[in-house]
Amino acid sequence: MVINIGSKNSIVNQFICELRDASIQKDSMRFRRNMERIGEIFAYEISKTMEYETREVITSLGTAEMQVIKNKPVLATILRAGLPLHQGILNYLDNADNAFVSAYREHRKDDDFAIQIEYVSSPEIEKRVLILSDPMLATGQSMVSAYKALLVHGKPAHTHFVSVVASVQGVEYLKRMLPKTGTTIWVAAIDDELTAQGYIVPGLGDAGDLAFGNKV
C-alpha cells in the first residue's frame, strides 16, 4: 500500500513548499523544523493504524478509560539526512525505541553506484511495528538496504516506510523489492523525474546538506 499524504490539500503541502524553495532553504534551522513537522504529521497518521488497549487513568475527580498504544514501536532512520524527520516522528511516538543505520553511496564509473551499509544500531524488532524513515526516496536502494540490514534483529510485524519526497521509480522499486504483506509506504510528494545520477527532479536538493551543512 502506498499512501501519499500530500495528495490532498493540507498544511503538509505548505511545509513541502518551503522545503523546496531555494531561498528558504538558506535557513537550515527552518529546513530542519519543516522536516520535523512533516515527521509529526506522519506519526499522527501512522498512529491511526496501530493496535490500542484500554487503560484506566485516575483523575482528580474520578477514573477515565483511555485508549493507548499497546506496544512500543521501533523508529529507524538513515544517517544523517534522516535525523530531523526521525525527530518529528519521535516527538509524537515519544516512548518508542530507536534504531539508526549508516549508509552511503559508493560511486562507480558511468554514474553507477552501490549502497554500502557501515553501521547499524537497533533494538530487537521481532514482531514489532517498525517505522523506517528517510527524507528522500530516489532510487529506493538506500531504503531497501537499510531494511534488510535491520532484519538481522528480527522480522517486524509491520513496517512503515516513510519519505517526504519520492520519485515514481523509487516507489515502484520498493513495491517490487519489499514483502507484499506487512508493509506500507508513506510519502508526502511524488516527483516524476529521476536523473542518471539518482537525484529527484524537481526534488529539493541534498536533504543532509540542507539540514546540517555541506559535506566534504
Could you tell me the pTM of the whole model?
A: 0.93
Q: What does pLDDT average to over the chain?
A: 94
| Fold held by 2-212 | Rossmann fold (3.40.50)
At residue 45, the pLDDT reads 98
Domain ranges of the chain: 2-212
Name the DSSP letter for residue 160. Answer: E
Q: What is the pLDDT of residues 92-148, one digit of tens each?
A: 999 999 999 998 776 666 666 677 888 999 999 999 999 999 999 999 999 999 999
Using CA atoms, how far apart are residues 18 and 37, in angstroms rounded to an integer?
Answer: 12
Per DSSP (E only), the strands in the chain are: 2-4, 52-58, 63-69, 74-79, 97-107, 113-121, 129-133, 136-137, 158-167, 183-191, 193-194, 200-201
pLDDT tens for each residue of 13-34: 999 999 999 999 999 999 999 9
pLDDT of 48-71, one tens digit each? 999 999 999 999 999 999 999 999
